[in-house]
Amino acid sequence: MIKRLIWLMLVILPLALMFGCDKKFGKIDQGRVIAFDSEKKTVTIIKDAKEDPKAPDYTTLPPHTYKLPPLERAMGPAPKAGKRMKLDTKKNEIIIFDDVTQDFKTISYKLIDQKENIEKKNPLVYDEAADKAKKFPVVDREKKTITVYSGRQKILTTFTLPDEYFARPDSTWDNGDEVRIYSKFGDEAKPGVEGKAWKFMNISKTDIYKK
């Protein structure tokens, strides 16, 4: 019950802040996780510029790092990090965050196969026997193929890239979890560091309406 109340606060708080709450109470940020350090208890996200759950826009730079809440009940499920920001199946492009340049990189790919209208429980992406989602991306370095699944777009795509890209870790082609963070500014706040997160919700792994 306590956890559910925390999640509900993270849904309601943005509305309260929009209607005139003083900034001293903190703010809500939403974005996609590109790095998570369980030992240091920090998370780094690319903020959603639009805050539209149906059409997020992960184009905000620089990335922002937060110190996670010390209490487990204020944290929820640990986030998965990934560097894939967007899969554009019309242009056959994938946009990733590049750690070296600290910028976005658009990569054109050669399409091998694409299946649309793939729901999350489809056997192609869900293991019914194990009752869990299959692991993506699938990177085959021998065949030089990468298969990714976008639950939001309901698309299962297999493509190939130049050899140089297969040296990158698998997480390059994975989408990080979407999270919502309630934070207050501290004396340590500086560009790229948004102080300490008081509450943290992993939107990708939390169903706040589940009883």
Task: Please report the domains of the chain, with CATH numbers, ordered by start residue.
Answer: 2-78+178-203 (2.40.50), 84-173 (no CATH)
pLDDT of the residue at 53: 67
For position 20, what pLDDT does the model report? 38
> Identity (one letter) of the amino acid at 182?
Y
Distance CA 44, CA 21 (A): 26
CB contact burial 130-140 (16+ within 10 A = b; e otherwise): eeeeeebbebe
pLDDT of 199 reads 83
pLDDT tens, the chain, 211 aa long: 545 544 445 444 444 443 334 445 667 889 999 999 988 889 999 999 886 767 788 889 999 998 887 756 667 788 999 999 999 999 999 999 999 999 999 999 999 999 999 999 999 999 999 899 999 999 999 999 999 999 989 999 999 999 999 999 999 999 999 998 887 655 444 444 556 777 888 888 775 544 4
Q: Cβ(124)–Cβ(118) under 8 Å? A: yes
Measured CA to CA, the distance from residue 71 to residue 205 in angstroms comes to: 18
